[in-house]
Amino acid sequence: MKFTEMGLSPELLEGISRLGFETPTPVQAAVIPAILNNGRDLVALAQTGTGKTAAFGLPLLQRLDTDIKTPQALILCPTRELCMQIARDLENFAACVRNVRVLAVYGGADIKPQLAAMVRGVDVVVATPGRMVDLLRRRRADFSQIKRLILDEADEMLNMGFEEDLEIILSEVPKGAQTLLFSATMPRQVAAIAKKYMTDPEEITIGMRNAGAENVSHEYLVVHAKDRYRALKRLADFYPDMYGIVFCRTRQETQDIADHLGKDGYKAESLHGDLTQQQRDRVMKRFRARDLQMLVATDVAARGLDVTDLTHVINYSLPDDPGSYTHRSGRTGRAGKTGVSIALINMREHNKLKFIEKQLGRKFVQRLVPTGADICKARLAGLVERLSQANPESGVIDEILPSLCQSLEGVSREELLRRFAALELNRMLEYYSKEPDINAEPLHEGGHAARKKQTAAGGMVELSMNIGKVNRLNPKQLMSLVNVADRASSVEIGRINITPLQSWFEVPRDAAQAVIDSFSRSLVDFEGRRVSVTLAGAGNPARRDEKRAANPYKPKDRSKSGGKKPGHWRK
């Protein structure tokens, strides 16, 4: 099917032809005829970047009566950036249609020009909920002629706390208006809005409900929490052409990571709620112009961003809500292009990842954090690719080429390439020669199951530490003590059991003696007590007493009486 077969007006077809559009995307092919051919309410579930604006925008523009001076269509969306983008797209679609007036209404800008435009008359209002409520309270918005209401990115608007504003706006829209709801996911709040304000809506789902974009691959790397930033740096070095968003959980973490990246020579800036609108606009202008390689953002700050050609989304911290992950990953792989979403997780986050996998309906692939050798090979391959594609114009280079050849006379081709590689990669080679492997788990299928199998097979051994709960020790502090002792590299830590007076933890068998020796050399002190580590004795009765004291409510083994055997007790 082509746009010419969908019943659109010649003027709209001319407009989209100028934009280079010929074949509709799946969501456009399903939604445009549904809106044009009937007046039913509609719920469309589709990922960001699939062409939703044209899906609702083209039939909306075709149904306008330009003789009416009050708004006939209202489009609500979560952020200023998306609001402006939708307005621009509608104006481009209607470039060959006479007298179509589109107004973008959003916060963070002077309200007076927006009020004046409303008075002069508009056909389509594209608004953020907060500013739209402001106009309603000033009695400057006339909704009496609204024929169509579009809720774009409905789940994001509700996640951002706009539920009350939406209730106010929806109550002002005439009851006979056609309501079109577009969302990437269908959480409970969105379903409630649809039930309350929509009448027998038709539902169109592109792909699986609540699923991520099909052309985005999902990967994860397992590192200790303290190594997340080092892993991020390695990804940036391994993918020198990365153009992506790094998602963090808090504003402070966002700012800290962006500051560290800047100091380490990467082109990165933060985007979070503490920025003024002017600062936000400056950052986004730089990012869209590709002056920045990475945008470090919170979920709220990145909602509604419309940036094309992103290659990567990095989840520095996993979100608490699986729906947020869907929106994060949907920032890449837009408009039919491919993208990669990478999650940096610690060893305790496998269950959280599995839950996101289940909700998303997609399998995550484990990757190893690139080593220094991996990074240098990738960089060198990139340089060779650029060399092979380079086609310098004649001129000054041709003039100096003879003297250049004379200067390098006697240097073999292999030696020349070796020196060239050394010049380009010397700093990186030197840096990574001192950096350890920071993978917290070996590459495997099946998450913790493979690790448990390794432990059962004798790959891990148990060590004993002479401090416990009475010293206010917790698992995070224990891991920190083990990895800040006088050792050359970090070590994987398995199961941890902290009792009142003593603690036990697992490490790989080949690292056990090094851990014991490191505590002997470094004289580690915790809360005023010298810390020592020894190989745990499997038959030590004191150990059994400590474990019983630490967990007096552990159920007895009732297997002989027909009850279920208790599982492993783990921290």
> What would the pLDDT profile of 329-373 be if each residue is shown by its tens digit?
878 877 667 889 999 998 888 888 988 888 788 889 889 998 888
Tokens of 567: 């599982």
Please report, as a single letter, which amino acid is at residue 287: F
The predicted model scores a pTM of 0.58
pLDDT at residue 48, rounded to an integer: 67
CB 265 within 8 Å of CB 317:
no
Q: Tokens 């062409």 identify what position? A: 51
| Residue ranges, CATH 3.30.70.330, the chain | 458-561
Nearest Cα to 266, choosing from 247, 285, 288, 238?
A: 238
CATH topology assigned to domain 458-561: Alpha-Beta Plaits (3.30.70)
Q: Alpha-carbon Rg of the chain, whole angstroms? A: 30
CB 545 within 8 A of CB 501: no
From the list 283, 271, 233, the residue with the least C-alpha distance to 438 is 233
Query: pLDDT value at position 102?
Result: 95
Dist. CA 90–CA 88, nearest whole Å: 6
Which tokens hold the place of 201? 């809506």
490-535: pLDDT as tens digits: 678 888 888 888 899 988 888 888 888 888 877 777 877 888 899 8
- Compute the distance between CA of residue 527 and CA of residue 524 in angstroms, rounded to an integer: 10
Tally the C-alpha atoms within 13 A of residue 290's C-alpha that lie toward its C-beta: 7
Quick check: 311 pLDDT over 80?
Answer: yes
Place of tokens 């224990």: 478
Pairing of strands 533-535, 460-465: antiparallel
Q: For CATH 3.40.50.300, list the domain ranges present in the chain.
A: 3-205, 216-371
The domain covering 216-371 belongs, at the CATH homologous superfamily level, to: P-loop containing nucleotide triphosphate hydrolases (3.40.50.300)
pLDDT of residue 292: 94
Output 548-552 pairs: Cβ under 8 A, ≥24 positions apart: 549/499, 549/500, 550/469, 550/497, 550/498, 550/499, 550/500
The answer to whether residues 226 and 480 touch, using CB atoms and an 8 Å cutoff, is: yes
The pLDDT value recorded for residue 443 is 62
Average pLDDT, the chain: 81
Question: Percent of the chain having pLDDT more than 70?
Answer: 86
* 182 contacts 50 by C-beta, under 8 angstroms: no
Q: pLDDT at position 529, please?
A: 84
CA 494 to chain centre: 28
- Reported residue count of the chain is 571
- Out of 368-382, 424-438, 446-460, which region has the weakest mean confidence (pLDDT)? 446-460
Both tokens of 370, joined, read: 């690139």
Nearest to 252 by CA among 233, 274, 237: 274
Burial class (CB in 10 A: 0-12, 13-18, 19+), 517: middle
> Is residue 109 over pLDDT 70?
yes
Task: Using alpha carbons, list the distances in angstroms from residue 62 to 33, 100, 103.
Answer: 12, 10, 17
The mean-pLDDT minimum among 225-229, 293-297, 401-405 falls in 401-405
For residues 429 and 20, which has the higher predicted lDDT (pLDDT)? 20
Domain 3-205: what homologous superfamily?
A: P-loop containing nucleotide triphosphate hydrolases (3.40.50.300)
E strand residue ranges, 352-455 = 365-366
Which phi and psi angles does 359 have, rounded to 5°? -70, -35
CB burial readout 457-489, b (16+ within 10 A) else e: eeebbbbbbbbbeebebeeebbbebbbebebee
Residue with the two structure tokens 């746009």: 3
Q: How far apart are CA 304 and CA 157, in angstroms?
A: 9
**What distance in Å separates the CA atoms of residue 299 and residue 210, rounded to the nearest whole number?**
17
